[in-house]
Structure formats: structure tokens, C-alpha cells
Structure 1
Amino acid sequence: MTDSRYMLVVSHTGRRESRDAAAMVVTRLVAAGVTPVLLEVERDDLLAACGDFGGGVQMLDGMDPALLELVIVLGGDGTILRAAEIVRGSSVPILGVNLGHVGFLAEAERDDLDETLRRVLLRDYEVEERMTIDVNVLVDSTVVYTSWALNEATIEKASRERMLEVVVEINDRPLSSFGCDGVVLSTPTGSTAYAFSGGGPVVWPNIDAILLVPLAAHALFARPLVVAPTSSVAVELLRRTDGSGILFCDGRRTHNLPPGARVEVTGSDTPVRLARLQRGVFTDRLVRKFDLPVTGWRGRAGA
């Protein structure tokens, strides 16, 4: 690592709280001799929030992301997913400060921002890798769209009044066909997001797997599935109906799916790296984020 330190600051500039927090982070980084890196689209909003940065700011445009030491994200999970998209393909870790609601991907809360910055400047954090998935869309055996997801790839019906007719394939073998509102293809990270809302299981993030969760399926065998990360999972829109669909990757990248389209999902070789300030176990995160009742728990004696 060079003597110069660069940290990308990404915020939800549509919210005053997020702009103010980002301005505070930028000011602190400049004071500590670290060069804050901003997105061009956010620069003017942050300048308006905190005034002159003293010339110590750099824009990400044209900069090699490999020079970044860390991405500091101020917002909710949606903003963290946007940051993951921005630095996709690099090894830079992402540290989220939750200014949203649940903020499952975030590591810190707004009230902890001072301590978070202190530890960031000392490089006092660990890095955890999260599995992602690669997504391909094929029409007439031709790949017409490629993407990826940290949380999930979701196939949804394009028309409210017409359900999708799909057939599910696992490792090149057909499993079942059914009508539905959609299908969620999720990572363990996404198991607490859309897949969870659709009735899927919570999967601990240290387990690599691909989840398949049908949405409002009209079938006897249309239960959530968990398969190996090395599996190939495909969902085909049957041609026997004129129902079309839409693919959403992390709710950010979309592609229209005509009848007969095929969506293939496999485990990706490119993980997302999250900076962690504490070693807290995932169980504790679940309890804290979902405010789960644990009153009366005693635990193992002597543990």
C-alpha cells in the first residue's frame, strides 16, 4: 500500500441526514490526511452540505478503483448495493453506516459514526467475503444479457393480471413447472431480504449456497430450495403462454424477459468484501436487526 490513502464515500444524497453524515465523514478524512473520493453525481450535493473541502477531494471518474483502501457507505442496504455495483471487480472492502431502516448489510449505526471513523483511520477492522451470483439471460439459445447480484436475482411477472408459467431446472435436469408471480434466486446474504419475505429460509452467510424461492406459486411442489454454490439453476418462461417477465438483479439492474426466455444463475468467482468492526456472530445480528424476543434465555451454564 502506498503512503497516500484514498477512501470512497458513497451516500444517499436524496436524504438530508445522509448528506450531512457524508459531509462530516469527508471533513474528518481530509483532516486526517486521507483523500476522500467522491462520485461526480454526488459532489455538488455534498459541497452544498459542508462547503469548501479545502481542495482535498478527488473524483472517482478516471481513477483506478484498486487505489481505494475502503468504501464508506452512508445510507441503507440499497445504497450499499449501489456501492457494491460501483466497485464490482475490485478487492476494495465496503463499510456501511446504516441510515435506513433494517440495514442488514451495514456494520455501524449513525450514532456510532465518530468511533467508526476512528477505527477506520487506524485500519482497525476485518474483512468478510460474501458470495455473489452470476446471471445470464438467454433467448433462443443466445445470451442476450449478463449481470450479477449480491442479494438476489428476481424473475417477476410483467403484467399484474397475468401470472408467469415457468419450469425450474437444477444442474441441467428439469425439476418442476408451475404458475407463479415470480421466482427469487438468492445468495445467503439475500436470504434475509426478498427471499425471506417470500417465505425462504434464513441461511447463515458463512454457508455458500443458492436459494430458489417461488413467489405465490400455484403448485403442490413449489417450496423453497437450497442447492450447492456449484450448482447451475435455470428458470425458463414457458412459450405456451404469452406472459412476459422482468428480471431484477439486486433491485437495481433490470431486463425484460419474453416468453421462452431462460435465466441461468451460478455462483460467481467475484465476491463482495464487507468491512467488519466486530466479530459478533450472525445470530446476534439477526436478533438485533429484527428485534427478536430472547427474554428468558439463560444459555449454557459456564459458557
Structure 2
Amino acid sequence: MGGAADRGGAGMRRTALVVVHLGRAEARQAMDEVLAELARADVDALVAGDDEPAPDPVPAVDLVIVLGGDGTILRAAELTRGTGAPLLGINLGHVGFLAEAERDDVVSSVRRLTSGAFTIEARTTVDVRVHAPDGSVSTGWALNEVALEKVERARMIEVVVAVDERPLSSFGCDGIIVATSTGSTAHAFSAGGPVVWPDVDGMIVVPVSAHALFARPLVLGPRSVLAVELLEESAAGGALTCDGRRRIEVPRGSRVEVRRSPVPVRMARLSPAPFTTRLVHKFGLPVEGWRGRPVTLRSAPRPEEAG
């Protein structure tokens, strides 16, 4: 853990990538404040819109600052995963579950990031491989989830699910979501999956509108491999989306494999508040009657936790 830049030695200037939802006036105003604070801290800045194509190669950056909602944060993770740079999300959206700070805290949050007053939370990602009937293999990854979905509205897909090379069940469905603990509060949650605490290193499997007696959500361990085969007799093919952003076609007869990735996304944390407190805050959950000690989201980290 730690917040100091990993790249370069003493005296070298750092670089921050600012990923922003450029279509919103509020985001542009917040971007100006971020750039001014980075200049004050002698940190160079690169700006990327959340709909711009990914650079190749990804620039070497020390810090990542995101201005927008969860979709913009997922875009920033797409741009910078594997660089090791900590990612700080500042929420300009609605719930903003992946964000660490809110709009009113832009300047103070950037100041803490550049001074090293933060901790690192490594979020698990998953790798996916799609083996098509013609022998071709497509690959992808996701921070939140991969979702296999039908491509024809009026027809289900027929699948057989296996865990660790052992078949588990076959059924017809509208799709299957495989989420990380980070993504348990996103698409998987909407489909009836459980909320999983971020320190649970596993995969959540949620069938969508399945026609089967045994099609409940599953939680797999970190070393398990999930396989989903789209049967030849399926009425139509499917499509796999990674974090709702990257799409892979899945023709009938394909095999989809999902496993834990060795490459995490490094999220910058400014508050030591536990996940329970964040869950209550983001979802507006009722907690009246609780008589224990409250924990605020904006508590400053203890000196031994900072940077």
C-alpha cells in the first residue's frame, strides 16, 4: 500500500491522466479545477475524453483522476489497467459506486492524491476467452462483469455451465452474468445477485431469466474456472460484453471461459470507512435505530495508513 508515485526517482516530474466525461459542462468545470491543482503540485497532466479511442501503447502515468460516473471510471480502468497507477474516481454521476470522492471535494481530493495521503485497494478483475467453433479464440477482461446475452429478443439461448471442468447444469436463459465482487453492486445486483464485499476474492455467477429448477446465483472461489458452452441447438447466437463496453460475438457452439485475472485495478482510497458504510451511503439504506459508533465516509486516514 502507499500513495507515492512508483515511477521515476527523486526529482522526476510525475504525470497524471485525467479522464473526463467531456459532454457535461459540470465535468469541464471540475476538470479546470483539477488541472489547476495538478499544476500547483508540479504534476504534468494528460486529458482523455471517456469516448476517445485507447492509445497504443498506454502512456506511462503515475496517477489517474476520473471525473464522471461509474461508466467513466470503467473507461479509465480500460485505459490504464496494468500500468500500476492508482485510480481516483470523483463522482459526477448518480450513485457513483466506484467513486471515492464527490464533486464538492475535487480540490482537496486531488491535493491528497498528489501528496500521497491515500491507500491502495487492489480490485480483482477477470479474464475471459471465447473459443469459437471455427477454432478462433477471442479474449477480454472486466473489472465489473462479463455478460453473455442473447442477440435475438424473442429467443433464448441454450447453455451448459461447468465449474473446474465439471458440468453443473444446462438450461435456457436470456443470459449469464459473471461478476467480480466490485461488480456485485452493478448489473449482477440488478439481476438478483448478492452484494459481495470487495475483499472477497471470488466470482459471482448470475443466470438471467433462466428456465431451470437449479439456476440460482453462485459464488465461486478465486482459483475456479467457469465455462459456459452455447449449445449448437440454441435458437440463436449470443454476444459477450465486458463492463458493458467491449463486445465479443459468441456463435452457437462456442465455449466461454472466465477466470480470475492476475492483473488488478488499483483504486486510490481517501477514507478508511468500511464497505458497509459506503453501501449505506451510496444506496441510501435506512439505519435508524442503530446505537453503535457511526463511521463517516470522509474520515481522514491515520498517518500510518497514508501514502
Same fold (TM over 0.5): yes
Shift of 1:38: 2.0
Match of 2:219 among 220, 226, 229: 226
Match of 2:232 among 229, 236, 239: 239
List aligned pairs for 1:238-257, cutoff 5 A: 238-257=231-250
What SS does the aligned partner of 2:189 have? helix
* 1:93 corresponds to 2:91: no
Match of 2:103 among 99, 110, 116: 110
List aligned pairs for 1:50-129, cutoff 5 A: 65-66=59-60, 68-129=61-122
Residue type at the aligned position of 1:97: I
Q: Is the CA contact 1:65–1:92 (under 8 Å) kept in the aligned structure 2?
A: no
Shift of 1:241: 2.5
What SS does the aligned partner of 2:93 have? coil
What SS does the aligned partner of 1:286 have? helix
Shift of 1:214: 0.3
| Counterpart-to-counterpart distance in 1, 2:213 and 2:107 | 53
Q: Report the count of equivalent residues.
A: 283
Shift of 1:106: 0.4
* 1:163 corresponds to 2:156: yes
| Counterpart-to-counterpart distance in 1, 2:163 and 2:280 | 33
1:238–1:64 Cα change, 3 Å: closer
Match of 1:215 among 208, 211, 232: 208
| Counterpart-to-counterpart distance in 1, 2:203 and 2:276 | 20
Shift of 1:28: 2.1
The normalised TM-score by structure 2 is 0.88
User: Unaligned stretches of 5+ in structure 2?
Assistant: 1-7, 294-307
Shift of 1:144: 2.2
1:41–1:167 Cα change, 3 Å: closer
Superposed structure 1 runs of 4+ greater than 6 Å apart: 40-43
- Alignment RMSD (CA, Å): 1.9
1:40–1:274 Cα change, 3 Å: closer
User: Unaligned stretches of 5+ in structure 1?
Assistant: 44-59
| Counterpart-to-counterpart distance in 1, 2:95 and 2:131 | 35
Equivalent position of 1:280 in the other structure: 273
* 1:19 corresponds to 2:28: yes
1:271–1:122 Cα change, 3 Å: same
Shift of 1:63: 7.4
Equivalent position of 2:292 in the other structure: 299
| Counterpart-to-counterpart distance in 1, 2:190 and 2:242 | 16
Residue type at the aligned position of 1:39: A
Q: Is the CA contact 1:95–1:107 (under 8 Å) kept in the aligned structure 2?
A: yes
Which has the larger share of helix?
Answer: 1
What SS does the aligned partner of 1:142 have? coil
Q: Is the CA contact 1:127–1:273 (under 8 Å) kept in the aligned structure 2?
A: yes
Match of 1:29 among 38, 51, 54: 38
What SS does the aligned partner of 2:83 have? coil
* 1:177 corresponds to 2:170: yes
Deviations along 1:139-188, one digit per CA (max 9) or x if unpaired, are 13734210000000000110100011111010001100111110001100
Equivalent position of 1:267 in the other structure: 260
| Counterpart-to-counterpart distance in 1, 2:49 and 2:36 | 17
| Counterpart-to-counterpart distance in 1, 2:109 and 2:120 | 15
Q: Which moved more, 1:115-124 or 1:264-273?
A: 115-124
* 1:186 corresponds to 2:195: no
Deviations along 1:259-279, one digit per CA (max 9) or x if unpaired, are 111110000000000000011
| Counterpart-to-counterpart distance in 1, 2:86 and 2:205 | 28
The normalised TM-score by structure 1 is 0.89
| Counterpart-to-counterpart distance in 2, 1:151 and 1:40 | 21
User: Percent identity, aligned pairs only?
Assistant: 55
